[in-house]
Amino acid sequence: MLEDSQIIIVDRKKISEYEMEYRIGGIQGDGVMSCIDVYYGIQVIYNKFHSFDTPINREINSSYIEINHCRRGKFECLYNKNYYAHLCEGDLSISRWSLQRMRDSFPLGYYEGVEILIDIQKARKNELLANFHIDIDFLAKKLTLNDNIYILRSTQQIQHICLEMYEIDKKMKVDYLKIKVLELLLFLSHNDFEMMQNQKRYYPKKQIETIKAIKQYLSEHLSSKINFDVLAKQYHINIHTLRKSFKEIYGVPIYQWFKQYRLEYSMELLRNTDLSIIDIANKVGYSNPSKYSAAFYQLMNMTPQQYRKSFGEI
């Protein structure tokens, strides 16, 4: 079923009698999707990406539904030209392939999760689903009424259903996945999407692009002493909105991200240049080399000098 998409596949191999592994192309980084057919018209896919880019699927077949659980990382999607949706760790999403997605990314640079891909026309013929009162067409109709995408925040029940899909003994993998897929579809069939509006994670396009512009500004002004209140005013955003949105998108507070990014950039300078420790400290905003060394040690458990020396030895 994955091969019905227009995702670029550069390599494939059979890793068991029931599982195929596809290495994904067209991205700056690495991506692997491992697929298992559990029912006629229903496939379980394990996604692992080390990339900011997502695989591009230009297939707009409305008869396909995908359900995604995020185990690690984050997925971002601009849809309907006006809103961003974020799938965060522990969250569950359900969407159609026909969703008008304008721009996707993995904003943290990595992503791991499980996906259930459903061909509605084929799955509706599965009598087992009917025995459990799972109506795929009704599920698709509810999705249509919600702009073809719905995101549920992480809950204990979602985690119970989904986390057990990741670590399964190979001998019973297919049979166990059949049970978990039924459990997940039963859970979604008996939840009213309209009753969970407060669980959505949708953000106006302008707000998200302002946050991204601020992040870009920070990455280009590492030596500057940043006043975040003033910065927020320059970008016409409330400081509380800035803090909340930045953490939602990138997983850490803006102050923490800026501090860590500066230190990570200094690591690159230590590895690839002959600049002195004092010069490097100045380039990443530390006028006092001792404070820079202390911050570096807190992150890496070694001093800048030790890091440079160990890297040189390697």
* % of the chain exceeding 70 in pLDDT: 91
In 3D space, the residue among 284, 283, 278, 279 whose CA is nearest the CA of residue 299 turns out to be 284
Distance of alpha carbon 279 from alpha carbon 299, whole angstroms? 19
All CATH 1.10.10.60 domain ranges in the chain, comma separated: 205-313
Q: Is the dihedral of CA 234, 237, 238, 240 positive or negative?
A: negative
Fold of the 2-200 domain: Jelly Rolls (2.60.120)
Token pair in block for residue 100: 């008008």
Residue with structure tokens 């191999």?
A: 13
All CATH 2.60.120.10 domain ranges in the chain, comma separated: 2-200
Q: In what order do the strands lie in the sheet with 202-204?
A: 101-105, 75-79, 83-87, 202-204
Distance of alpha carbon 66 from alpha carbon 72, whole angstroms? 18
Distance of alpha carbon 182 from alpha carbon 67, whole angstroms? 13
What is the reported pLDDT for 56?
80
Question: How many other C-beta atoms are found inside a 10 Å radius of the C-beta of residue 285?
Answer: 19
Distance of alpha carbon 64 from alpha carbon 126, whole angstroms? 15
Token pair in block for residue 51: 């990339």
What is the reported pLDDT for 198?
41
Please, are residues 303 and 296 in contact by the beta-carbon 8 Å criterion? yes
SS3 216: helix
pLDDT in tens, the chain (314 residues): 787 788 889 999 998 889 999 999 989 899 999 999 999 999 999 999 999 989 887 666 678 999 999 999 989 888 766 777 888 899 999 988 766 666 788 988 899 999 999 999 999 999 999 899 899 988 888 887 677 788 888 889 999 999 999 989 888 999 999 999 999 999 998 876 654 444 445 678 888 889 989 999 999 999 999 999 999 999 999 999 999 989 888 878 999 999 999 998 999 899 889 999 999 999 999 999 999 999 999 988 999 999 898 866 54
Fold of the 205-313 domain: Arc Repressor Mutant, subunit A (1.10.10)
What is the reported pLDDT for 161?
94
Burial string for 17-49 (b: 16+ CB within 10 Å, else e) reads eebbbbebeebeeebebbbbbbbebbbbbbbbb
Q: How do residues 33-48 score in pLDDT, each as one tens digit?
A: 999 999 999 999 999 9
Q: Dump the DSSP string for 107-126.
A: TTS-EEEEEEEEEHHHHTT-
Q: How do residues 203-252 score in pLDDT, each as one tens digit?
A: 788 888 899 899 999 999 999 999 999 999 999 999 999 999 898 888 78
Distance of alpha carbon 183 from alpha carbon 200, whole angstroms? 22
**For the purposes of burial, counting CB atoms within 10 Å of the CB of 93, is it exposed (0-12), middle (13-18) or buried (19 or more)?**
buried
What is the reported pLDDT for 162?
95
In 3D space, the residue among 104, 95, 209, 106 whose CA is nearest the CA of residue 152 turns out to be 95
* % of the chain exceeding 90 in pLDDT: 55
